[in-house]
Amino acid sequence: MRRLITTLAILLVVVVAGMTALVLLVNPNDFRTYMVHQVEQRSGYRLQVNGDLRWHVWPQLSILAGRMSLTAPGASQPLVTAENMRLDVNLWPLLSHQLSVSQVMLKNAIIRVTPDSDAQKPTGSPVGPRDTEPTTSSNGWSFDIGKLRLADSLLIWQQQGGDEYNFRDFNLSLNQDASKQASIDLSTRVSRNQRNFTVSLKGQFDAAQYPHRLSGRIDALDYTLDGANLPTQGIKGTLSGEGEWNSDRQQFALNKLQLSANDSSLDGSAEGSLMLPQRLDLKLHATALNLDNLMVSAPATDSSAAQHATVIRTPVIAEPRERDNSDSPLNMMDLALNLTADQAVWRGLTLSQLQLTASNQEGLMTLSQLQGKLGDGQFSIPGTVDIRHPITTVTLQPELQQVAIAPLLKAFALPEVLQGTVSLQGDLSGSGLSIDDAKQKWQGSAELTATNLQLAQLNLQQMVSRAVARVSNRLSNDEGEDQSIQQLSGRISLNKGVVTLPDLQGGSNHLAVQSQGNINLLTRQLDVTINMMLRGWKGDEKLAAVMNEQTIPLRMYGPWDNLQYSLPVDQVLRQQLQSEAKNRLEQWLDRQQSSQKKP
């Protein structure tokens, strides 16, 4: 045991003595010219290292450097700058006159991926074939990097003519083997327009053909997005899949995508190009898609109202600048979207078998298919959306079949005064995409048919029967259990917030109805008259016969929260009684005159 300990001690002394001798005998500054030359020969980039290089022995044999920069040929700004650089080197290759760098470590670095940092060809230079693989230096040295670390750095990304994005707290760990199979671990955050986006990524990729081609797999990508014009709880989720990037053609492809966003879950594929005009082709399938948890415009529920009450409004000084359609990336993009969803939620409406097929050509979006099921009914809303001009214009051709009315009224923040189902076919157009825009700036018309209509807490037959009973005891009517209007059909129109009902007709077995009037969505007022003809009167035969053919108007008017009703049954009945009395008087006079003429 004592001999083993002695042997290990001797070995340790030899190693320490060797490393000490190496540090004393080898000057790391001798590698400066070699590293600069190798980088420029292999890539064309210019490496600049300021200050003296020095050894760092423990816990890893390293070369420490001061400020460094890496600049592409002809670029006006460096691609990479850093205040500190550490090169972890392998010990044994140094003994055979080789520099083997196992890891490059940069701290507080600035990486610029911008037009100013891109390589620029000299003016008038000939276009030749792709550069051949670099040859090794003849002086016997080799240069190999297997690991790259970036800590607490900044990535500046900008496309030609586009906005600049600053990715802060940029941390990167990159490991690759001899065959260029690499693993990556990345985390960063970006803030823009009062929105914060954080992301962390772990994956594998094949860099054998880099920089011309890069392929790999995303094992896990966790993200969080919060801030202005986003849901209170933000948007968070994960992403995984496989991808490929072609740098020469600026094309990418993503397959086997698995995406979650809050309580929504999607899978599918994507492919496109970053060359102008940019192109994106998405094919997605969602098992669950809750748009209300992804959009700030979703209607507030009773539970969410209390949450919004505690939200502190952002100071005016922090408000983002006003944006218009010229800021939209869709103006420079060709987009094709094919989305199917088993279940979806939009403004409280539960949709099933949702199918969306849409395309965008530099700002002109075409909804060739937007259809699905809504409860026991179906809907289809094809149309176009044009954002090529400062004001968004919309044209839609909605078609509904047997859709419940009450959920629709709630979704569009309208009074839930009607129950039943509706079928319609319409043509709408206007400016803006929000619900408020639809209420204020859209116009159009539709043919509709409503079935099994019921006015909330209002029985028309009962109202008329009781009003007649209060005026006269000579008539009665069985109220019956059926309080609904079996069918009502006609044409309605919308003009900048005013819904006009020119002539809706229908009824049930004992009730004929004709409605007309208007509803003002902006002032939240209405003035609608329902002309009713109630059948089944009993009592005085002559008066009952007249009332069975008599129209009784019910007028509803005023603000939604305080509706007024007018049901002039007494006037109608009084007119009928006066008319009946007049007729009977005329008949009596005729009889008297006839009797006087007889001898």
Residues 79-111 have pLDDT tens digits of: 999 988 888 777 666 655 566 677 888 888 999
pLDDT band at 280 (very low <50, low <70, confident <90, very high): very high
pLDDT digits (tens, 9 = 90+) for 339-357: 999 999 999 999 999 999 9
Greater confidence (556 vs 141) lies with: 556
Angle at the Cα of 494 from the Cα atoms of 488 and 500, rounded to 5 degrees? 50
Greater confidence (3 vs 418) lies with: 418
Closest CA to 88 of 56, 111, 46: 56
Give per-residue burial for 203-232: e unless 16+ CB within 10 Å, then b.
bebbbeeeeebbbbebeebebebbeeebbe
N-term to C-term CA, the chain:
162
Q: How far is residue 552's CA from residue 529's CA, in Å, rounded to a whole number?
A: 10
Q: How far is residue 446's CA from residue 500's CA, in Å, rounded to a whole number?
A: 11
Q: Rounded to two decimals, what is the model's pTM?
A: 0.73
What pLDDT sits at residue 266? 95
Mean pLDDT of 153-170: 87
What pLDDT sits at residue 139? 37
Residue written as token pair 């200050």: 51
Q: How far is residue 193's CA from residue 204's CA, in Å, rounded to a whole number?
A: 32
Q: What is the DSSP letter of 348?
A: T
pLDDT band at 571 (very low <50, low <70, confident <90, very high): low
What pLDDT sits at residue 493? 94
| pLDDT more than 90, % of the chain | 32
Listed in sequence order, the DSSP H helices in 174-231 are none
pLDDT digits (tens, 9 = 90+) for 108-136: 899 998 988 887 776 655 555 544 444 33
Closest CA to 112 of 163, 83, 77: 77
What pLDDT sits at residue 73? 87
Average pLDDT of the chain, as a whole number: 80
Q: How far is residue 24's CA from residue 29's CA, in Å, rounded to a whole number?
A: 13
- How far does Cα 570 stand from its chain's mean position? 57
pLDDT digits (tens, 9 = 90+) for 184-210: 999 999 998 888 999 999 999 888 887
pLDDT band at 483 (very low <50, low <70, confident <90, very high): low
